[in-house]
Amino acid sequence: MSGMPESGPIRALVVDDSGFMRIALRKIIEADGDIRVVGEARNGREAIRLAQELKPDVVTMDIVMPEMDGIEATRRIVKEVAPAPRVVMVSASTQEGADATLKALRAGAADFISKSTSFADTDLGSLDAELRQRLRQWRAAPSRSPRSPVQDKPEAMPEAAPGTPADLVVIAASTGGPVALPVLLSAMGVIEPPVVIAQHMPEVFTRSLADHLASEIGLDVREGAMHARIAPRTVTIIPGGQDAVVAFGRTGSFELRPGVGPGLVHPSGDLLLQSAALTARAPVAVILTGMGSDGTGGAAAFRRRGRPVLVQTPESCVVGGMPSAAIAAGVATEILDLERIGRKLAMLSRGSAPSQE
């Protein structure tokens, strides 16, 4: 565990330059009695000092603040406070807020919750519905998931048409995905089949994620659009807050179409994987870091077809719930770290024989 106590109330530090928001967040956080606000900070410098003094379990962090912003404060807290608390960004639901949130995640923030930008538009109802649940999840989640009790290399499932190059790669990711994806995609490089990603994120944030990935790794990464062609040698991220399926378009190429996933998280990894297994001739599925079990149901459709399902090693995840669920369900064909997943995707896109990594 990350040093959090096994029992007793969760101890939270609230960081926001708005006095109104600090009061509102305290009321929201303490509403059920199992989470206690042990301190409040008005800027990043105060946040670092109080985190060192109070040793909170979790920190809710604003981004834009005087003296020191939430990104730098997060970087310092994660590096300098032991045991390191989990930092949850409370971020504006704008393009600027999305850009800053991604930087905070790269700086070590564990998670984020979106809010509106202005005092009048702040969606306290949405925060009330999500914030306590997220903080409880981080109390329960270890800093790195323990190794799965199953073997690291389960018996390989038979592949349909061995040696056939992959024609579609689909990826399901949640918490930790914005940090994991650049590692995987950099190791993969440019491949011929299109790559489609269901990353759990709200609207607006996926556009920023696509821009960041394109800039950082040099691949053609774009936010998808419904009924638009999914071109080869591109990485498409399903728009945030929406579910989508992969289907054949009029030109015979893949395209995204609106769908309704089976769960409460969006975009739905299960729905994406299920549609890929039904549509593509030689698809490959990937399940990355995240809470919950999204992706496992869709991966079962790959198993029935004998197609590869590459799963991130749970111990390398920010949260290993999604990979662990796939492993426990017996749908993972290989369990690899991010770089090895990337290299395996490059190999499968060429139709190379499976490696013995």
Tens-place pLDDT, residues 171-211:
999 999 999 999 999 999 999 999 999 999 988 899 999 99
- Residue 261 is predicted with a pLDDT of 85
Amino acid letter, 65: M
List the chain residues with pLDDT less than 70.
1-7, 93, 116-126, 129, 140-162, 352-357
DSSP assignment of 4-25 equals --SSSPEEEEEE-S-HHHHHHH
pLDDT reported for residue 163: 76
Distance in angstroms (rounded) separating the CA atoms of residues 291 and 230: 28
CA separation for the pair 65, 28 (Å, rounded): 21
The residue behind tokens 């390398």 is 316
Per-residue pLDDT, 115: 72
* Domains by residue range for the chain, with CATH: 10-140 (3.40.50.2300), 168-350 (3.40.50.180)
The reported pTM is 0.85
pLDDT of residue 225: 95
Q: At what angle do helices 70-80 and 95-107 cross, to 10 degrees?
A: 10
The span from the CA of 236 to the CA of 209, in Å, is: 11
The token pair that represents 76 in the structure block: 């310092």
d(CA 331, CA 128): 36
Active site residues: 174, 200, 294
